[in-house]
């Protein structure tokens, strides 16, 4: 793994927010790789609670029961322990369920379950616990504004709907999924509306976040911009 050398003043917690398909996952993974940090996509934790709820036979529409489960479950994300394509280990109550959370039934219900305020509150507490270890790049939609309001560095990645739809469309085709560009546009537009209008922890730009528009930038160029920001913060008087 190639890492970039910085002094001890490098930010220990980096929050990256942005709408769907703005580049968070690709940028966050490469940034963490360059820094030698853990990259945590918080969506993973909502997949974990969804899988656990389904495995226990809970009705995904039973908000109260799933919120209670979220308060009792322990979810952790650790550096990968196997070379099987995973980016990290996902542990649910100390058991490895890294691949279980990717099952189709989880995809079907995770959006609903992740919208429950009780679930989001419980997951926020667990995300903060993981972040307290330091050396983490955390990705989501409310990291800088809600989960880690005191993060050392906050980045908000933005991109036009047209560019994001093209990226997502190409991703889906590469996975062998049959989709149309128009359906991807409609899906992202719906997701944007849900994310920005929900009452609890909506998608928003934190007041002290650095906004980077990724329309005309590659993931590598965005990573270099963030690394330059880190370097500039290390030596403000130079």
User: For 133-165, what is each residue's pLDDT tens digit?
Assistant: 999 999 999 999 999 999 999 999 999 999 999
Predicted pLDDT of residue 7: 46
Q: For residues 79 and 95, what is the distance between their CA atoms, to the nearest angstrom? A: 14
Is the per-residue pLDDT at 4 higher than 70? no
Fold designation for 42-133: Rossmann fold (3.40.50)
**What tens digit of pLDDT does each residue of 10-52 get?**
899 999 999 989 999 899 999 999 999 999 999 899 999 999 9
CA distances from residue 33 to 3, 195, 237 in whole angstroms, order as listed: 7, 28, 28
Dist CA 53 CA 49 (whole Å): 6
Exposure class string for 96-132: b at 16+ Cβ within 10 A, else e: ebbebbeeeebeebbeebbbbebbbebbbebbeebbe
pLDDT of residue 1: 47
Helix 117-131 vs helix 104-114: crossing angle, to nearest 10 = 100
> Which pair of tokens denotes residue 25?
């996952």
In this prediction, residues 94-107 reach a mean pLDDT of 90
pLDDT > 70? residue 5 = no
Supply the pLDDT for residue 193: 86
Q: In terms of pLDDT, which residue wins out, 170 or 107?
A: 170
pLDDT score of 8 more than 80: no
Please tell me the CATH superfamily of domain 12-37+135-223, with its number. Answer: P-loop containing nucleotide triphosphate hydrolases (3.40.50.300)
Domain boundaries for CATH 3.40.50.300 within the chain: 12-37+135-223, 42-133
pLDDT for residue 85 is more than 60: yes
Q: Where are the alpha helices (H) located in the chain, listed in sequence order?
A: 24-35, 43-55, 63-72, 104-114, 117-131, 161-174, 181-197, 219-234
pLDDT given for residue 97 in this prediction: 96
Prediction pTM value: 0.85
């Amino acid at each position: 793994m190639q890492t970039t050398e910085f002094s001890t003043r490098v930010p220990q917690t980096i929050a990256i927010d942005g709408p769907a398909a703005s580049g968070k996952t690709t940028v966050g993974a490469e940034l963490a790789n360059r820094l030698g940090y853990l990259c945590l996509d918080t969506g993973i934790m909502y997949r974990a609670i969804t899988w656990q709820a389904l495995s226990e036979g809970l009705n995904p529409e039973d908000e109260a029961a799933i919120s209670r489960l979220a308060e009792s479950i322990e979810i952790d994300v650790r550096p990968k322990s196997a070379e099987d394509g995973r980016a990290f280990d996902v542990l649910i109550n100390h058991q490895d369920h890294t691949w279980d959370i990717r099952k189709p039934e989880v995809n079907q219900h995770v959006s609903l379950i992740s919208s429950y305020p009780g679930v989001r509150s419980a997951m926020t507490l667990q995300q903060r616990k993981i972040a307290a270890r330091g050396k983490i790049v955390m990705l989501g939609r409310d990291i800088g504004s809600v989960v880690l309001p005191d993060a050392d560095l906050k980045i908000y990645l933005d991109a036009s709907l047209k560019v994001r739809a093209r990226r997502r469309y190409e991703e889906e085709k590469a996975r062998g999924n049959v989709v149309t560009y128009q359906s991807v546009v409609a899906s992202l537009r719906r997701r944007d509306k849900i994310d920005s209008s929900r009452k609890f922890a909506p998608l928003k730009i934190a007041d002290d976040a650095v906004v980077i528009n990724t329309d005309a930038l590659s993931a590598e160029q965005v990573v270099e911009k963030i690394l330059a920001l880190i370097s500039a913060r290390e030596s403000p008087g130079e």
